[in-house]
Structure 1
Amino acid sequence: MLESGTQDSRILLCLDISRLNRVSQFLLSTALVLASFLIYGYILEMTFHLEGMKEYSWYFTMLEFLQFSIFGLGERVVSHRCGLLKHKAPMSIYMLLAALTVATIGLSNMSVGYLNYPTQVIFKCCKLIPVLIGGIVIQGKKYGIIDFLARFTMSVSLILFTLTDSEIQPNFNIYGVVIISGALCADAAVGNVTEKTLNDHKATNSELILFSYSIGFVYIMFGLLLSAQLAPGFMFFQQHPLETYGYGAVFAITGYVGLNAILFQIKHFGVLAAVTVTTFRKMLTIILSFILFSKPFTFRYIWSGLIVLGGMLLNFYSKKKDIINNKFSALYKQMCQKKEAALLDQQNDSIDHI
């Protein structure tokens, strides 16, 4: 069931959808997540099919950050928020969040040039592994056997996917595994910092997006200047305007819409509902990637994907085991009571017959 939310106004992309019932709100936000991120993934893979594109992945990421910053500022303007550049969270937090976001998105985009896209998506599904490691090392958290079993199954699936790619992909590069692993670790940190920023400082979604992505844009631009890649990237994009600027605009728009829809679900329906939707979206992304783009296929991809799904289900059970156990216990007692009542009715019918 969806978690109960507050009765305050519910804003999705500057639109108040409070008049819709909760089911309609959930279905609308889910449709936006699925549609936007399926297009997002398709555009990303199609863009990196352009010969030479992987050399300029960071220039592509810089443009994405610039557009996200513009969208965030535009949302604040449309929402009539006073003080467009005022912020509730300290700027030091946004500088840290920007660095982590740059690493997450930049390395993720970069890995598409080296990895089979479904393998990249599977890696993203397994970010719970670095979350567990970080929780133990940084916060001293303790985890149960089910948590470790869930992460172990995910690790096995990653190994199987990587070995399968190395065998059937002619352009497989282990460098892509290193890159996406770095993105995975940064992504795990982004989630923790974002949650803390939203909860402790009551920052809005548009504020978080505006400052983290605008600062991230500055980081990437200076990095490209220092590495002398800014001018070559500009020239390459000028030579292929449709495949770069055109597709990049659609990529950024769909990404921004999807990000807002996910944040809306987290706030009003809970993390569990949002994670369920995004997991389903990733499964669809993998299926469509094999359908729309010609690539080698083997059933080992399916078995590896099922192992990932099993690990995610174990993680879900670990987080909600008390609720699940209580519900199954209540259901079992209800079934036993119905069975006893049915037997009692049969006995009474036998007595009446006699």
Structure 2
Amino acid sequence: MYNIYYFPTSYGWYFTFVQGFVYITLIYIQGFTTKQMMNPWKIYVKLSAVLMGSQGLTKGSLAFLNYPAQIMFKSTKVLPVMVMGAFIPGLRRKYPLHEYISAVLLVLGLILFTLADAHTSPNFSMLGVIMISGALIMDAFLGNLQEAIFTMNPETTQMEMLFCSTVVGLPFLVPPMIVTGELFKAWISCYEHPYVYGVLIFEAMATYVGQVSVLSLIAIFGAATTAMITTARKAVTLLLSYLIFTKPLTEQHGIGLLLIAMGIVLKMVPEPKIPSWNAVQNAVVKQSKSTFNIEKNHIGSDETLDNDEKRSLI
């Protein structure tokens, strides 16, 4: 969009603001009302601030980063999500070593595959790097906060999560738009190019389906697994484009696919169940009691035999 309409600067906050109203409209059409809420509004304040910040910075970074550079950064999302899970209250999730290795292999494979497909080298603008890095940090908090809400209250629905976080989050977008002057600049630019709103509405409708799907995955499998699924989805999309349009696959593509496959297979390996120290102690105690009972019964049987022998002698 930035390349087509030659926008002079980033309008990420404004675009996110417009698409937020599209989300609310779609949720309202599906029949969700505030009477169906299972959580108080205050729970969604922190989540909403992180959500809007992530979306605004991601869209805004497109004005300063080209496609390969942004993919390189966004592909690493699963790693901060896994690390941040250990610090979220109500979650405190820790992952086994093989899942971290799986995530690293998946990230490296997707980066190699993407760079092999890119016709231009990554273009790193310092402002763009700062914006996309901030978006990654907020994404790490976002997925884990959503998982924590689903975990603490399993009756929370995906519609409630998306509706409340959007409604509460929209006011957070107003201050940065006013301070940077983006609100008035974006309004004038979009007024001169009204087709932009059509693109934003279409994109919002598509991302709405994606948001609901991602929230469903988080509720069922957790934030880290969802991040790995979305990362693998990017690889599948790129691979299908090669199969459908018969593009040539290079050696770098093959290495990337191999790393992705290794990461997915490693993720599917079941975690070995190592017994806890309490379980070991209980097993030892049970074994000791069992041995003691056997010996006691054996001694009792010996005494019975001795008594029988004495009676026979008498």
TM-score by length of 1: 0.60
Asked if 2 retains the 8 angstrom alpha-carbon contact of 1:95 and 1:215, the reply is: yes
Asked if 1 retains the 8 angstrom alpha-carbon contact of 2:162 and 2:212, the reply is: no
Letter in 1 for 2:198: G
Q: 1:114 aligns with which of 60, 64, 69?
A: 64
Q: 1:133 aligns with which of 83, 93, 103?
A: 83
Provide the residue aligned with 2:30 in structure 1. 75
Name the SS of the counterpart of 1:126 in structure 2: helix
Provide the residue aligned with 2:266 in structure 1. 314
Whole-Å separation in 1 of the counterparts to 2:123 and 2:256: 21
Q: If you compute each CA radius of gyration, which structure gives the higher value, 1 or 2?
A: 2
Whole-Å separation in 1 of the counterparts to 2:241 and 2:132: 18
Q: 2:140 aligns with which of 188, 197, 200?
A: 188
Asked if 2 retains the 8 angstrom alpha-carbon contact of 1:61 and 1:106, the reply is: yes
Cα distance change on mapping 1:53 and 1:71 into 2, 3 Å? farther
Shift of 1:89: 1.6
Cα distance change on mapping 1:223 and 1:187 into 2, 3 Å? same
Q: 2:152 aligns with which of 178, 200, 204?
A: 200
Instruction: Give the RMSD, CA atoms, in angstroms.
Output: 4.0
Name the SS of the counterpart of 1:49 in structure 2: helix
Shift of 1:223: 2.0
Name the SS of the counterpart of 2:65 in structure 1: coil
Once the two structures are superposed, what CA deviation does each residue of 1:3-34 show, in whole Å capped at 9, x if it has no partner? xxxxxxxxxxxxxxxxxxxxxxxxxxxxxxxx
1:99 aligns with 2:49: yes
1:179 aligns with 2:114: no
Name the SS of the counterpart of 1:76 in structure 2: coil
Provide the residue aligned with 1:124 in structure 2. 74
Asked if 2 retains the 8 angstrom alpha-carbon contact of 1:75 and 1:206, the reply is: no
Letter in 1 for 2:164: F
Asked if 2 retains the 8 angstrom alpha-carbon contact of 1:165 and 1:172, the reply is: no
Cα distance change on mapping 1:239 and 1:171 into 2, 3 Å? farther
Whole-Å separation in 2 of the counterparts to 1:158 and 1:288: 14
Residue ranges of structure 2 left out of the alignment (5+ in a row): 244-248, 274-314
Once the two structures are superposed, what CA deviation does each residue of 1:193-233 show, in whole Å capped at 9, x if it has no partner? 11222332322222211111122211112321232221111
Whole-Å separation in 2 of the counterparts to 1:179 and 1:315: 30
Whole-Å separation in 1 of the counterparts to 2:141 and 2:79: 12
Whole-Å separation in 2 of the counterparts to 1:135 and 1:212: 20
Shift of 1:67: 1.4
Shift of 1:110: 2.0
Note the 1:201-350 alignment, pairs <5 A: 201=153, 202-242=155-195, 244-264=196-216, 278-286=230-238, 300=252, 303-304=255-256, 306-308=258-260, 310-317=262-269, 320-322=270-272
How high is the sequence identity, in percent, across the aligned residues?
29
Whole-Å separation in 2 of the counterparts to 1:114 and 1:307: 29
Name the SS of the counterpart of 2:10 in structure 1: helix
Asked if 1 retains the 8 angstrom alpha-carbon contact of 2:68 and 2:115, the reply is: no
Provide the residue aligned with 1:48 in structure 2. 2
Cα distance change on mapping 1:228 and 1:116 into 2, 3 Å? closer
Whole-Å separation in 1 of the counterparts to 2:191 and 2:252: 41
TM-score by length of 2: 0.67
Whole-Å separation in 1 of the counterparts to 2:239 and 2:115: 19
Asked if 1 retains the 8 angstrom alpha-carbon contact of 2:71 and 2:114, the reply is: no
Whole-Å separation in 2 of the counterparts to 1:179 and 1:309: 31
Shift of 1:165: 11
Shift of 1:148: 4.0
